Structure 1
Amino acid sequence: MELVFESSLGSPTLTPHGASVRTLRDALTTIPLAAAPEECVDQLEELERLKSAICATQARISGQLDQHRLAQDEARRQLEPRRRRPKPEAGIAKEIGLARRESPHDGRRKLALARALLHDLPETLAALERGDLNERRAEIIASETSCLDAEKRREVDVVVCRDLDGLGDGHLRDLVQREVLRRDEEGWLARHERARAKRRVTGRILGDGMGQLSATLPATDLSLIMASLDAAAETARAQGDERDRSQLVADTLVGRLSGRGRNTPAPTAIKLLVSAETLMGEGDEPGYVFSAGHVPASVARSMVIAAAGHAHSTIQRLFTAPHNGALVAMESSTSFFRGALAEFIKLRDRRCRSPFCSAPIRHVDHVNGRADDGVTSSDNGQGLCEACNYAKEAHGWRHEPHPDPLAVTEVSVTTPTGHVHRSRAPDPPTDQSHPSPAERHVSARLLALAS
């Protein structure tokens, strides 16, 4: 027998289990607000973790509902084997969507997430229950690993969830994509070819005399285009142009595409980070293209070969520490991060280094400021977005590099309330398990010089 509960003006008659959750919800509205700033931050953090734990419980409940509906559908099929019935997934997804006050499309996403968490991603589910990641980031892991079989998916799940602290959406997506590529390069290439066949440019009117241009194209082409537009914007700003960066990028794009631009764009490089083993064909570690993400080893080698004929193409060797694979560099005697040192830090950090932020790097600055006797070195430098760099200078904030020069590049961020967050640089694309004797020797020497 199935019970039907009628709803009146959005106030359903609840089952005992639903009523227990409502009691919890009502209790949350009576929590006393903290008085001191540090207590406010504690409450915010614990409530955020609670939201994640609730999402994990919703996934478990969705899985339970999924099993009930599938079993009911199978029972009906056994009773009436000749009767054609629609697949039950659509109804289940809509039921979940309605319960969560979301569309059927979002209901399908939540159902897919629940199935992934319960069957293939136990570590992600556990992290969600602890509040170490939120539902959106759990969806990133589930979505990016959906192309793998169950065994490989669980492998990625274990690796990715070892240390989630400080990872923003972009850093997390980069990490998952790298681990997927390590296990399924052929699948990536096949999916890329199918997606590449759908490249296109579209436009639509927005109103107020404005329109939107949208291009779907290979990520490496996007990286090159954006690097060229960003370089033009930075040059114009340096020459005193009062337009902001977004306006300059848009105006430069229009000028170049319409033919109204007067200046020929300067040659622009695609920045590709790749291990020496991959470059020489002795390894299959994925490469990393800035503003595009990870690419298979074969694609990275093809990019290097294609660029070899260009006069301005260069290959610059970056060495890694033999004990942990972290990129290392030497100290600079200047007071500002510029030239090769600034470029090195951008290559190492890839995105804004502030915990949980994945915005593009706009500034390279000291971790420990010059006013506090901070040196201009790779260990004491970090790439930040504009907003995070300005926030860093606000009263009560403190950024500190890891005290151990042999540790993985790490920054501790202390907030005005004394709460500490940490940020680690992404692992470089290198095979740490088989460093050559020369690699170990040179890396050790560079570390000694840097310290």
Structure 2
Amino acid sequence: MIDQMRLWEDVKCLAGAQQARLAVALDVQQRREQAAAGVPVEEQGAGVAAQIALARRESPARGSRLLGLAKALTGMPRTFAAFRSGRLNEWRVTLIVKETICLSVEDRAGVDEELAADTGTLDGAGDKSIIATVRAAAYRRDPASVAKRAARAVTERCVSLRPAPDTMTYLTALLPVTQGVAAYAALGKEADAARSAGDDRSRGQVMADTLVERITDTPGGISGVEIQLVMTDRTLLQADAEPARLPGYGTVPAPWARDIALTGGSSNFGTPAAGPAAVEELRLWVRRLYTAPGAGELVAIDSKARIFPAGLKRFLQIRDDTCRTPYCDAPIRHHDHITAWHNGGPTSAGNGQGLCEACNHTKETPGWTAKPIPGPRHTVATTTPTGHTYHSTAPPLPGTRTGSSQEHRLALARATP
């Protein structure tokens, strides 16, 4: 069994290497076809990474990284040979390319020759060891480029939010090391002081609560930003167990959703809350959303406007939840006409979809088409320049798996005045 596992690991590496080779060939072919069609040089290659992502059932962002990896490996033949033979897997090849991407083609090839990964020089090395080895080799080749890369990294500082299990989220800040250490030390100092004063929360809890309160400048961290929940009337009013959906996060347990909707999170399942003063300021709005019998499709809302009106935008946000491109779960940034408005496409729920910015731009490149497909729930068929078609169906709303008659859902929004 161990021998078989090693065999299949080698097969995986070989398959990954073949995918990389095909990705480069596709990019060359598509650029050639786009050039023949008169596409400007700076726009050639648009949409190739998105096609690779669809074929590999990956997100568009992941597709772009895979194409970049494949193109970089064309200048690193010994690393590519190690990948193809199974000495390096796709992740470790990615680490090598990431640490050499700032170099010129010639210097990257020099690092590739120095490493000689195809001879087994990296056999048994872990991720950190590989990173350290490649980083040192890259620095010897071109210290200025490595230093410039570090300086450029400062401009990429940002804050991101992604879901975590059990109705939690990861709020992540990418910061220069001095700022990150200073912020963490300040939170730790506050937590130590609170614990010394008798606070029964753990050190990590105090640090997390202090971070939220300082950012929002509000006790308990409750701000005026709307938090919308989609749930059945049974979940809200009859203590039903049907889970709810929090747009941008996903499925949440029914008790948690009721707690947020009815108390503003004051009970917080045993965790210290914001306090009565903060909760009393909350206001609750309830909007009824009607679904079609059986299928659970939201009832359409039509408009003749060129731009989706506010109510219809909210409708698309609730129905689609995240970007409708297959395998892409990025937040919705654009409200798109599936059949373009200038081609006669109406501004309606049936002809609308929520897309992230990157996917909307990709859809507008030459050779891409999309059209709505009749079905129980809203479905879009997207066809790429190579003629391959991919389908995307709107996710089911809470409670739509049951019931044969029309029923209404409740979108709940809460905010401070």
**Interval containing the TM-score (normalised by the shorter chain):** 0.3 to 0.5
Structure-1-length-normalised TM-score: 0.44
Q: Name the structure where strand makes up a greater proportion of residues.
A: 2
Higher RCO (C-alpha 8 Å, min separation 6): 2
Structure-2-length-normalised TM-score: 0.47
